[in-house]
């Protein structure tokens, strides 16, 4: 008589159980990722599965971003100009003090 632990069907069943265990773990991982992605999408707003609305939202955000970049660059230029004026005034004040 052969040992029941060595039967081919027992080994195949054990291997199948191991594979199913890994598949179940992988499925759980994908489910967690899908739930997380859905939660992030919901946090951003917009209807579920509406690619037109998503594209419009993306376009609006990109336009807003471009406007903010332009405004930031204008503000930087203004600050640079003001710093130049401040340096000039400081130099003028320093020269007047030296004359006294």
Q: 20-79 pLDDT, tens per residue?
A: 999 999 999 999 999 998 888 777 765 566 788 888 989 999 999 999 999 999 999 999
pLDDT at 1 over 50: no
Same domain, yes or no: 3 and 38: yes
Same domain, yes or no: 65 and 83: yes
- Number of domains, the chain: 2
Same domain, yes or no: 75 and 31: no
Torsion angle of the four alpha carbons 66, 68, 70, 71, in this order, in degrees rounded to the nearest 10: 170
Tokens of 72: 């930031």
Same domain, yes or no: 33 and 60: no
pLDDT-derived band of residue 9, with 50, 70 and 90 as boundaries?
confident
Instruction: Give the integer Cα–Cα distance in Å for 54 and 41.
Output: 10
Same domain, yes or no: 7 and 40: yes
Q: What is the domain range of residue 55?
A: 50-100
Instruction: Give the integer Cα–Cα distance in Å for 27 and 46.
Output: 27
Same domain, yes or no: 3 and 35: yes
Same domain, yes or no: 54 and 97: yes
């Amino acid at each position: 008589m052969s040992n029941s632990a060595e039967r081919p069907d027992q080994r195949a069943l054990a291997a199948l159980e191991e594979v199913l265990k890994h598949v179940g773990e992988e499925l759980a991982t994908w489910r967690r990722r899908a739930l997380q992605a859905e939660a992030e999408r919901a946090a951003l707003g917009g209807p579920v599965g509406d690619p037109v609305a998503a594209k419009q939202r993306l376009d609006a955000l990109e336009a807003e971003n471009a406007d903010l970049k332009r405004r930031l660059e204008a503000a930087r230029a203004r600050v640079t100009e003001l710093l130049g004026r401040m340096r000039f005034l400081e130099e003028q004040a320093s020269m007047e003090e030296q004359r006294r």
